[in-house]
């Protein structure tokens, strides 16, 4: 006998929810770009503690990529060769840039990017729920919260930097301007977290 959860896990996501399939493909490749960028960022730093912290974040991104790959495989969504190439180039470019743009900018733009990544995983949760699938909630919650922790780490590093007000005015990210509504001092449990990011723009309009 096939249970409903078995049949749900065997659906073809490209047909059932093309936008979610696309979001997973993009997240998988985006995690590689992030990991590449952090390799360059860590190498460009002199302080051993700062270097180790960035390497830890890099390891988180590789772990996210493994988790997203498992989801792609479970729902028979192919890895996008286009995204793989595109994000490979982006990650490599950012890694090189870290050597020439000084100390502040890699921290600022990493934090800004992480801020936007948080919602991707909660939006995925909402999309899975629309298909009646809740078995990935804990994993998606964990990844979304990890991205939030990354954002908080980068913000903390540059909070007192004199350039922050200028960059904040131009690029619209700092302690008061986030691209998500997750707050680490008032976290909600997994069961309520699907309401995170409901009012933030997402990539769910994309097609597989």
> For Fe ion, which is the closer residue by CB, 147 or 174?
147
d(CA 116, CA 118): 6
Output the six-digit token pair for 82.
């286009």
Angle subtended by helix axes 81-97 and 18-44, to nearest 10? 20
- The site for Fe ion, by CB under 5 A, has a size of 6
Q: Which is nearer to Fe ion, 156 or 169 (CB)?
A: 156
Q: Are 75 and 12 in contact (CB under 8 A)?
A: yes
Q: Which of 61, 67, 112, 167 binds Fe ion (CB under 5 A)?
A: 61
Cβ-based nearer residue to Fe ion, 12 or 202: 202
Residue with tokens 């804990």: 138
Let me know: does 115 contact 179? Beta carbons within 8 Å.
Answer: yes
CB of 11 to Fe ion, least distance (A): 25
The CB-of-160 to Fe ion minimum distance in angstroms stands at: 22
Cα distance between residue 60 and residue 31, in whole Å: 9
Burial, 148: exposed, middle or buried (Cβ in 10 Å; 0-12, 13-18, 19+)? Answer: buried
Alpha-carbon gap, residue 89 to 107, rounded angstroms: 20
Interface map 65-104 toward Fe ion (x if CB under 5 A): ----------------------------------------
Residues 5-34 that bind Fe ion (CB under 5 A): 31
Which region, judged by CB under 5 A, interacts with Fe ion, from 131-139, 143-151, 187-195, 196-204?
Answer: 143-151
Tell me whether residue 2 is exposed, middle or buried, using C-beta atoms within 10 angstroms of its C-beta: 0 to 12, 13 to 18, 19 or more.
Answer: exposed
Contact pick of 17, 67, 112, 150 for Fe ion (by CB under 5 A)? 150
Per CB under 5 A, 41 contacts Fe ion: no
What is the separation of C-alpha 107 from the centre of its chain, rounded to a whole number of angstroms?
A: 16
Q: Can you tell me which of 32, 64, 136, 148 binds Fe ion, judged by CB under 5 A?
A: 64
Q: Of 31 and 174, which has the nearer Cβ to Fe ion? A: 31
- Out of 44, 123, 126, 147, the only residue in the binding site for Fe ion (CB under 5 A) is 147
Residues found near Fe ion in the complex (CB under 5 A) = 31, 61, 64, 114, 147, 150
């Amino acid at each position: 006998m096939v249970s409903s959860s078995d049949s749900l896990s065997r659906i073809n996501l490209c047909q059932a929810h093309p936008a979610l399939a696309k979001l997973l493909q993009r997240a998988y490749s985006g995690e590689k770009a992030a990991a590449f960028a952090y390799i360059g960022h860590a190498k460009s730093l002199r302080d051993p503690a700062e270097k180790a912290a960035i390497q830890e974040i890099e390891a988180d991104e590789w772990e996210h990529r493994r988790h997203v790959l498992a989801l792609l495989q479970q729902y028979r969504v192919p890895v996008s060769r286009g995204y793989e190439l595109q994000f490979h180039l982006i990650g490599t470019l950012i890694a090189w840039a870290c050597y020439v743009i000084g100390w502040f900018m890699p921290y600022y733009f990493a934090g800004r990017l992480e801020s936007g990544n948080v919602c991707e995983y909660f939006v995925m949760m909402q999309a899975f729920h629309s298909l009646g699938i809740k078995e990935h909630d804990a994993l998606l919650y964990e990844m979304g919260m990890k991205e939030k922790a990354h954002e908080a780490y980068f913000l903390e590093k540059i909070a007192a930097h004199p350039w922050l007000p200028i960059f904040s005015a131009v690029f619209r990210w700092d302690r008061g301007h986030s691209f998500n509504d997750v707050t680490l001092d008032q976290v909600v449990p997994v069961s309520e977290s699907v309401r995170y990011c409901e009012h933030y723009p997402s990539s769910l309009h994309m097609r597989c």
